[in-house]
Structure 1
Amino acid sequence: MTPDNRARIERAAEIAGEPVTAFARSAAEQRAEQILREHEATTRVPAEYFDELLAAFDAPVQPSPALADAAQRLRETVVRD
């Protein structure tokens, strides 16, 4: 740990009114909880939704009119050497 980092942690602990060890332990516990929550997070969707999503990935690409218009404007606007 650099002296600057140590001083910053000590200052923050002082402002929080906690001993440095308690402050550091609390910060480590909060970070551990955050990482575990993110790691254990799951998204649940109905099976039909998942099947439709996979089918959409397998379907041939059909650009929308808006996308085709944007691509045309790009070709008209950007000059490539």
Structure 2
Amino acid sequence: MTATRTKRFETRLDEATDQLITRAAELTQMSKSAFVTSAARAEAEKIVARAEITLLDPQVFDALVMSLDVADDAPALRDKLASLPRIS
């Protein structure tokens, strides 16, 4: 089931861009509206995905993973735990 489309989006184009979009829509057998919506959504999804993913060099990634295996000294936590009553 497709979502109900209630939003509008308008843009101004130069002649060359309009002709290019028209030709691409024809080649894909889509309406101009469907073509532009599809292309804009695909590009938006790529940009959002890129923003939500952290890329690291392999050496940096390996160092990060190795650092997770080393316990940090947590003096505040150690002191707090030491002040709690012991359960026997």
Calculate the aligned-residue CA RMSD, in Å. Answer: 1.9
| Amino acid in the other structure paired with 1:27 | A
TM-score norm. by structure 2 comes to 0.50
User: Does residue 31 of structure 1 match 2:31?
Assistant: no
Measure, in 1, the Cα distance between the counterparts of 2:37 and 2:66: 42
Query: What residue is the counterpart of 1:8 in the other structure?
Result: 20
Q: List runs of 5+ in structure 2 lacking aligned partners.
A: 1-12, 56-60, 69-88
| Amino acid in the other structure paired with 1:32 | A
Measure, in 1, the Cα distance between the counterparts of 2:52 and 2:66: 20
Shift of 1:46: 1.4
TM-score norm. by structure 1 comes to 0.54
Measure, in 2, the Cα distance between the counterparts of 1:47 and 1:39: 25
Query: What residue is the counterpart of 1:64 in the other structure?
Result: none
Q: List runs of 5+ in structure 1 lacking aligned partners.
A: 50-81
Which is helix-richer, 1 or 2? 1
Query: What residue is the counterpart of 2:58 in the other structure?
Result: none
Which portions of structure 1, spanning 4 or more consecutive aligned residues, are displaced by more than 4 angstroms? none
User: Does residue 46 of structure 1 match 2:65?
Assistant: yes
Give 3-state SS (helix, strand or coil) of 2:54's partner.
Answer: coil
Measure, in 1, the Cα distance between the counterparts of 2:44 and 2:54: 18
Measure, in 1, the Cα distance between the counterparts of 2:15 and 2:25: 15
